[in-house]
Amino acid sequence: MNSILRIILQRLGLGLLTLFVVSIVIFVAVNLLPGDFAELILGQGATPETVATIRRDLGLDQPLVLRYFDWLRGMLTLDLGTSFSQLNRVSNLGGGSDTTTVVEQIAPRLSNTLFLAAVTASIAVPFSITLGVLAALYRNTAFDRSANIFTLSSISSPEFFMAYVLILFLAVLNPILPSLSNIYQGMPFWERVEKSLLPALTLTLVVTAHMMRMTRAAIINLLASPYIEMARLKGLSPMRVIVKHALPNALAPIINVIALNLAYLITGVVVVEVVFVYPGIGQLFVDSVKIRDIPVVQACCLIFAAAYILLNLTADILSILSNPRLRHPK
Protein backbone atom coordinates (compact mmCIF):
# COMPACT_ATOMS: atom_id res chain seq x y z
CA MET A 1 0.00 0.00 0.00
CA ASN A 2 2.90 2.36 0.68
CA SER A 3 4.15 1.89 -2.86
CA ILE A 4 0.70 2.75 -4.26
CA LEU A 5 0.49 5.87 -2.07
CA ARG A 6 3.95 6.95 -3.19
CA ILE A 7 3.03 6.51 -6.86
CA ILE A 8 -0.22 8.45 -6.39
CA LEU A 9 1.59 11.32 -4.64
CA GLN A 10 4.14 11.41 -7.46
CA ARG A 11 1.32 11.64 -10.01
CA LEU A 12 -0.35 14.46 -8.05
CA GLY A 13 2.92 16.38 -7.83
CA LEU A 14 3.48 15.93 -11.56
CA GLY A 15 -0.07 17.15 -12.22
CA LEU A 16 0.49 20.32 -10.18
CA LEU A 17 3.79 20.98 -11.96
CA THR A 18 2.09 20.47 -15.33
CA LEU A 19 -0.68 22.89 -14.38
CA PHE A 20 1.90 25.51 -13.34
CA VAL A 21 3.73 25.22 -16.68
CA VAL A 22 0.44 25.32 -18.59
CA SER A 23 -0.60 28.47 -16.68
CA ILE A 24 2.55 30.21 -17.94
CA VAL A 25 1.83 29.13 -21.52
CA ILE A 26 -1.80 30.28 -21.23
CA PHE A 27 -0.88 33.68 -19.81
CA VAL A 28 1.78 34.40 -22.44
CA ALA A 29 -0.36 33.12 -25.34
CA VAL A 30 -3.45 35.10 -24.32
CA ASN A 31 -1.45 38.30 -23.93
CA LEU A 32 0.03 37.78 -27.40
CA LEU A 33 -3.45 37.85 -28.97
CA PRO A 34 -3.73 40.61 -31.58
CA GLY A 35 -5.88 43.59 -30.73
CA ASP A 36 -6.33 45.70 -27.64
CA PHE A 37 -9.38 45.83 -25.37
CA ALA A 38 -8.97 49.53 -24.68
CA GLU A 39 -8.94 50.40 -28.38
CA LEU A 40 -11.83 48.00 -29.02
CA ILE A 41 -14.24 49.63 -26.56
CA LEU A 42 -13.23 53.18 -27.52
CA GLY A 43 -13.69 52.53 -31.23
CA GLN A 44 -12.50 54.85 -33.95
CA GLY A 45 -12.63 57.86 -31.67
CA ALA A 46 -9.86 56.51 -29.45
CA THR A 47 -7.04 58.88 -28.61
CA PRO A 48 -3.67 57.85 -27.20
CA GLU A 49 -4.52 59.56 -23.90
CA THR A 50 -7.82 57.75 -23.33
CA VAL A 51 -6.32 54.43 -24.42
CA ALA A 52 -3.45 54.92 -21.98
CA THR A 53 -5.91 55.83 -19.20
CA ILE A 54 -7.99 52.68 -19.69
CA ARG A 55 -4.90 50.47 -19.96
CA ARG A 56 -3.62 51.96 -16.70
CA ASP A 57 -6.99 51.45 -14.96
CA LEU A 58 -7.06 47.81 -16.11
CA GLY A 59 -3.43 47.18 -15.18
CA LEU A 60 -2.45 46.43 -18.79
CA ASP A 61 0.46 48.85 -18.60
CA GLN A 62 2.26 46.68 -16.01
CA PRO A 63 5.18 44.40 -17.00
CA LEU A 64 4.08 40.95 -18.19
CA VAL A 65 5.97 39.11 -15.42
CA LEU A 66 4.38 41.23 -12.69
CA ARG A 67 0.92 40.71 -14.16
CA TYR A 68 1.49 36.95 -14.29
CA PHE A 69 2.43 36.70 -10.63
CA ASP A 70 -0.56 38.87 -9.69
CA TRP A 71 -2.75 36.47 -11.68
CA LEU A 72 -1.07 33.45 -10.08
CA ARG A 73 -1.66 34.89 -6.62
CA GLY A 74 -5.29 35.47 -7.54
CA MET A 75 -5.66 31.88 -8.73
CA LEU A 76 -4.55 30.56 -5.35
CA THR A 77 -7.28 32.63 -3.66
CA LEU A 78 -9.91 32.06 -6.41
CA ASP A 79 -9.74 35.75 -7.27
CA LEU A 80 -9.36 35.78 -11.05
CA GLY A 81 -9.90 39.49 -11.42
CA THR A 82 -12.66 41.53 -13.03
CA SER A 83 -14.19 40.87 -16.41
CA PHE A 84 -13.25 43.63 -18.85
CA SER A 85 -16.51 43.25 -20.76
CA GLN A 86 -18.56 44.03 -17.66
CA LEU A 87 -16.67 47.13 -16.65
CA ASN A 88 -18.60 50.37 -16.75
CA ARG A 89 -16.08 52.53 -18.57
CA VAL A 90 -17.64 55.79 -17.51
CA SER A 91 -17.76 54.89 -13.82
CA ASN A 92 -14.19 53.62 -13.89
CA LEU A 93 -13.03 56.86 -15.41
CA GLY A 94 -15.28 58.98 -13.36
CA GLY A 95 -16.93 57.59 -10.19
CA GLY A 96 -19.07 54.72 -9.04
CA SER A 97 -18.49 51.12 -9.93
CA ASP A 98 -20.39 48.52 -11.90
CA THR A 99 -18.18 45.47 -12.26
CA THR A 100 -18.53 41.70 -12.47
CA THR A 101 -15.75 39.42 -11.29
CA VAL A 102 -14.52 36.65 -13.55
CA VAL A 103 -15.64 34.01 -11.04
CA GLU A 104 -19.19 35.44 -10.99
CA GLN A 105 -19.31 35.43 -14.77
CA ILE A 106 -17.85 31.93 -15.23
CA ALA A 107 -19.61 30.06 -12.41
CA PRO A 108 -23.07 29.68 -14.05
CA ARG A 109 -21.49 28.93 -17.45
CA LEU A 110 -19.25 26.23 -15.96
CA SER A 111 -22.27 24.75 -14.20
CA ASN A 112 -24.08 24.53 -17.55
CA THR A 113 -21.10 22.87 -19.24
CA LEU A 114 -20.76 20.34 -16.42
CA PHE A 115 -24.47 19.59 -16.74
CA LEU A 116 -24.08 18.98 -20.48
CA ALA A 117 -21.05 16.76 -19.82
CA ALA A 118 -23.02 14.77 -17.23
CA VAL A 119 -25.95 14.24 -19.62
CA THR A 120 -23.55 13.18 -22.38
CA ALA A 121 -21.62 10.82 -20.12
CA SER A 122 -24.81 9.19 -18.85
CA ILE A 123 -25.64 8.34 -22.48
CA ALA A 124 -22.21 7.74 -24.01
CA VAL A 125 -20.49 5.57 -21.38
CA PRO A 126 -23.14 2.82 -21.03
CA PHE A 127 -23.82 2.90 -24.78
CA SER A 128 -20.13 2.62 -25.70
CA ILE A 129 -19.34 -0.16 -23.24
CA THR A 130 -22.42 -2.14 -24.29
CA LEU A 131 -21.55 -1.69 -27.95
CA GLY A 132 -17.94 -2.72 -27.26
CA VAL A 133 -19.01 -5.85 -25.34
CA LEU A 134 -21.41 -6.88 -28.11
CA ALA A 135 -18.78 -6.19 -30.79
CA ALA A 136 -16.32 -8.42 -28.91
CA LEU A 137 -18.97 -11.11 -28.43
CA TYR A 138 -19.94 -11.09 -32.11
CA ARG A 139 -16.54 -10.14 -33.51
CA ASN A 140 -15.93 -10.45 -37.24
CA THR A 141 -19.67 -10.58 -37.87
CA ALA A 142 -21.88 -8.12 -39.73
CA PHE A 143 -22.79 -6.49 -36.40
CA ASP A 144 -19.12 -5.98 -35.50
CA ARG A 145 -18.31 -4.47 -38.88
CA SER A 146 -21.40 -2.25 -38.83
CA ALA A 147 -20.58 -0.97 -35.32
CA ASN A 148 -17.01 -0.16 -36.37
CA ILE A 149 -18.14 1.63 -39.53
CA PHE A 150 -20.74 3.64 -37.60
CA THR A 151 -18.38 4.74 -34.83
CA LEU A 152 -15.47 5.51 -37.16
CA SER A 153 -17.75 7.52 -39.44
CA SER A 154 -19.08 9.57 -36.53
CA ILE A 155 -15.64 10.34 -35.11
CA SER A 156 -14.25 11.18 -38.57
CA SER A 157 -16.92 13.80 -39.20
CA PRO A 158 -16.45 17.35 -37.90
CA GLU A 159 -18.48 18.17 -34.81
CA PHE A 160 -20.37 21.01 -36.46
CA PHE A 161 -21.33 18.68 -39.34
CA MET A 162 -22.73 16.06 -36.95
CA ALA A 163 -24.55 18.83 -35.07
CA TYR A 164 -26.23 20.17 -38.20
CA VAL A 165 -27.17 16.64 -39.34
CA LEU A 166 -28.88 16.01 -36.00
CA ILE A 167 -30.61 19.40 -36.16
CA LEU A 168 -31.87 18.57 -39.66
CA PHE A 169 -33.28 15.15 -38.76
CA LEU A 170 -34.38 15.68 -35.15
CA ALA A 171 -35.41 19.33 -35.10
CA VAL A 172 -36.37 20.36 -38.66
CA LEU A 173 -37.65 17.34 -40.59
CA ASN A 174 -38.88 15.62 -37.42
CA PRO A 175 -39.42 18.24 -34.70
CA ILE A 176 -38.68 15.94 -31.78
CA LEU A 177 -36.09 18.04 -29.95
CA PRO A 178 -35.45 21.81 -29.81
CA SER A 179 -32.65 23.02 -32.07
CA LEU A 180 -31.51 25.76 -29.67
CA SER A 181 -30.35 25.00 -26.14
CA ASN A 182 -31.44 28.25 -24.52
CA ILE A 183 -31.34 27.00 -20.94
CA TYR A 184 -31.33 29.31 -17.94
CA GLN A 185 -30.91 29.15 -14.20
CA GLY A 186 -33.99 27.82 -12.44
CA MET A 187 -35.29 25.94 -15.48
CA PRO A 188 -37.11 22.69 -14.53
CA PHE A 189 -34.74 19.73 -14.58
CA TRP A 190 -36.41 17.64 -17.31
CA GLU A 191 -36.95 20.66 -19.54
CA ARG A 192 -33.26 21.42 -19.14
CA VAL A 193 -32.41 17.83 -20.06
CA GLU A 194 -34.64 18.04 -23.13
CA LYS A 195 -32.96 21.22 -24.36
CA SER A 196 -29.53 19.67 -23.75
CA LEU A 197 -30.24 16.42 -25.62
CA LEU A 198 -29.20 17.50 -29.11
CA PRO A 199 -25.75 18.81 -28.07
CA ALA A 200 -25.40 15.75 -25.82
CA LEU A 201 -26.19 13.40 -28.72
CA THR A 202 -23.67 15.25 -30.89
CA LEU A 203 -20.95 14.79 -28.28
CA THR A 204 -21.99 11.16 -27.78
CA LEU A 205 -21.41 10.42 -31.45
CA VAL A 206 -17.98 12.05 -31.22
CA VAL A 207 -16.73 10.17 -28.13
CA THR A 208 -18.38 6.76 -28.65
CA ALA A 209 -15.78 5.42 -31.09
CA HIS A 210 -12.81 5.64 -28.70
CA MET A 211 -14.60 4.00 -25.78
CA MET A 212 -16.31 1.33 -27.88
CA ARG A 213 -13.14 0.27 -29.73
CA MET A 214 -11.04 0.23 -26.56
CA THR A 215 -13.64 -1.94 -24.79
CA ARG A 216 -13.76 -4.30 -27.75
CA ALA A 217 -9.96 -4.54 -28.07
CA ALA A 218 -9.37 -5.02 -24.33
CA ILE A 219 -11.94 -7.82 -24.09
CA ILE A 220 -10.70 -9.61 -27.22
CA ASN A 221 -7.11 -9.52 -25.87
CA LEU A 222 -8.30 -11.35 -22.75
CA LEU A 223 -10.39 -13.99 -24.48
CA ALA A 224 -7.31 -16.17 -25.12
CA SER A 225 -6.32 -16.15 -21.42
CA PRO A 226 -6.27 -19.49 -19.55
CA TYR A 227 -8.87 -18.42 -16.99
CA ILE A 228 -11.25 -17.50 -19.82
CA GLU A 229 -10.72 -20.93 -21.35
CA MET A 230 -11.45 -22.48 -17.96
CA ALA A 231 -14.67 -20.48 -17.66
CA ARG A 232 -15.73 -21.70 -21.08
CA LEU A 233 -14.94 -25.31 -20.16
CA LYS A 234 -17.23 -24.93 -17.14
CA GLY A 235 -20.08 -24.34 -19.57
CA LEU A 236 -20.64 -20.63 -18.96
CA SER A 237 -22.40 -18.72 -21.74
CA PRO A 238 -20.23 -16.46 -23.94
CA MET A 239 -21.98 -13.32 -22.60
CA ARG A 240 -21.43 -14.39 -18.99
CA VAL A 241 -17.76 -15.16 -19.71
CA ILE A 242 -17.23 -11.68 -21.14
CA VAL A 243 -19.26 -9.69 -18.60
CA LYS A 244 -18.26 -11.61 -15.46
CA HIS A 245 -14.66 -12.60 -16.21
CA ALA A 246 -13.21 -10.57 -19.11
CA LEU A 247 -14.74 -7.13 -18.56
CA PRO A 248 -13.58 -6.64 -14.91
CA ASN A 249 -9.99 -7.44 -15.92
CA ALA A 250 -10.18 -5.07 -18.89
CA LEU A 251 -11.21 -2.09 -16.77
CA ALA A 252 -7.80 -0.39 -16.61
CA PRO A 253 -7.54 0.59 -20.32
CA ILE A 254 -11.28 1.23 -20.50
CA ILE A 255 -11.14 3.59 -17.50
CA ASN A 256 -8.26 5.46 -19.16
CA VAL A 257 -10.11 6.05 -22.40
CA ILE A 258 -13.35 6.97 -20.57
CA ALA A 259 -11.50 9.56 -18.48
CA LEU A 260 -9.86 11.04 -21.58
CA ASN A 261 -13.23 11.33 -23.28
CA LEU A 262 -14.81 12.87 -20.18
CA ALA A 263 -12.01 15.45 -20.27
CA TYR A 264 -12.95 16.13 -23.88
CA LEU A 265 -16.58 16.66 -22.86
CA ILE A 266 -15.45 19.63 -20.75
CA THR A 267 -12.59 20.97 -22.88
CA GLY A 268 -13.86 20.20 -26.37
CA VAL A 269 -17.39 21.55 -26.19
CA VAL A 270 -16.60 24.92 -27.76
CA VAL A 271 -17.85 24.13 -31.28
CA VAL A 272 -20.94 22.27 -30.07
CA GLU A 273 -21.93 25.03 -27.65
CA VAL A 274 -21.55 27.66 -30.38
CA VAL A 275 -23.68 25.68 -32.86
CA PHE A 276 -26.51 25.13 -30.37
CA VAL A 277 -26.08 28.55 -28.67
CA TYR A 278 -25.63 26.64 -25.44
CA PRO A 279 -24.74 29.06 -22.59
CA GLY A 280 -21.70 27.15 -21.38
CA ILE A 281 -18.09 27.98 -20.80
CA GLY A 282 -17.18 27.21 -24.42
CA GLN A 283 -19.59 29.85 -25.70
CA LEU A 284 -18.28 32.30 -23.11
CA PHE A 285 -14.72 31.57 -24.22
CA VAL A 286 -15.51 32.36 -27.86
CA ASP A 287 -17.36 35.57 -26.96
CA SER A 288 -14.51 36.68 -24.70
CA VAL A 289 -11.87 36.08 -27.37
CA LYS A 290 -13.86 38.28 -29.77
CA ILE A 291 -13.78 41.27 -27.43
CA ARG A 292 -10.31 40.56 -26.00
CA ASP A 293 -11.61 40.06 -22.46
CA ILE A 294 -8.24 38.83 -21.21
CA PRO A 295 -9.17 37.80 -17.62
CA VAL A 296 -12.10 35.65 -18.81
CA VAL A 297 -10.10 34.06 -21.64
CA GLN A 298 -7.28 33.20 -19.24
CA ALA A 299 -9.70 31.75 -16.70
CA CYS A 300 -11.51 29.63 -19.32
CA CYS A 301 -8.21 28.26 -20.65
CA LEU A 302 -7.06 27.49 -17.11
CA ILE A 303 -10.31 25.63 -16.36
CA PHE A 304 -9.96 23.61 -19.55
CA ALA A 305 -6.36 22.71 -18.67
CA ALA A 306 -7.17 21.89 -15.04
CA ALA A 307 -10.11 19.66 -16.04
CA TYR A 308 -7.98 17.78 -18.57
CA ILE A 309 -5.10 17.30 -16.14
CA LEU A 310 -7.41 16.30 -13.27
CA LEU A 311 -9.29 13.69 -15.30
CA ASN A 312 -6.03 12.30 -16.68
CA LEU A 313 -4.71 12.02 -13.12
CA THR A 314 -7.95 10.32 -12.08
CA ALA A 315 -7.57 7.80 -14.89
CA ASP A 316 -3.96 7.20 -13.95
CA ILE A 317 -4.78 6.68 -10.28
CA LEU A 318 -7.73 4.37 -11.02
CA SER A 319 -5.52 2.33 -13.35
CA ILE A 320 -2.97 1.99 -10.55
CA LEU A 321 -5.63 0.92 -8.06
CA SER A 322 -7.07 -1.59 -10.53
CA ASN A 323 -3.65 -3.24 -11.03
CA PRO A 324 -3.56 -6.33 -8.77
CA ARG A 325 0.24 -6.52 -8.95
CA LEU A 326 0.44 -3.12 -7.26
CA ARG A 327 -2.38 -3.78 -4.79
CA HIS A 328 -0.96 -7.17 -3.78
CA PRO A 329 2.84 -6.97 -4.17
CA LYS A 330 4.80 -10.16 -3.56
Task: State the Cα–Cα distance between residues 70 and 56, nearest whole angstrom.
Answer: 15
pLDDT above 90: percentage of residues in the chain: 9
Q: Over 70: is that where the pLDDT of 291 sits?
A: yes
Distance CA 20, CA 3 (A): 26
At residue 44 the predicted structure's pLDDT band, cuts being 50, 70 and 90, is low
pLDDT value for 95: 46
Q: What is the DSSP letter of 45?
A: G
Element (H, E) at 113: helix 102-137
- Please calculate the CA angle 162-168-174 and round it to the nearest 5 degrees: 130
Kindly report the length of the chain: 330
pLDDT for 323: 63
234-to-241, 242, 243 alpha-carbon distances in Å: 10, 14, 15
Q: What is the mean pLDDT of the chain?
A: 81
pLDDT tens, position by position, 118-144: 999 999 999 998 898 888 888 888 988
**What band does 40 get if pLDDT is binned at 50, 70 and 90?**
low
Please say whether the beta carbons of 291 and 40 come within 8 A.
Answer: yes
pTM value is 0.82
Q: Is the pLDDT of residue 64 over 60?
A: yes
What integer pLDDT is reported at residue 122 of this predicted model?
A: 92
For residue 21, what pLDDT band results from cuts at 50, 70 and 90?
very high
Quick one: pLDDT at residue 133?
86
> pLDDT tens, 151-186?
888 888 888 888 898 999 988 888 888 888 888 888
Determine which of 94-103, 110-119, 267-276, 297-306 has the lowest per-residue pLDDT on average. Answer: 94-103
| Three-state SS at 82 | strand
- pLDDT > 70 in the chain, percent: 88
**Are 128 and 208 in contact, with CB atoms under 8 Å apart?**
yes
Residue 257: per-residue pLDDT: 85
Q: Are 132 and 215 in contact (CB under 8 A)?
A: yes
pLDDT band at 324; cut points 50, 70, 90: low
pLDDT surpassing 50 at residue 262: yes
Q: Above 60 in pLDDT, residue 221?
A: yes
pLDDT of amino acid 53: 76
In order of their start, the domains of the chain are 17-94 (no CATH), 112-290 (1.10.3720.10)
Q: What is the largest CA-CA distance in the chain?
A: 86
Residue type, 143: F
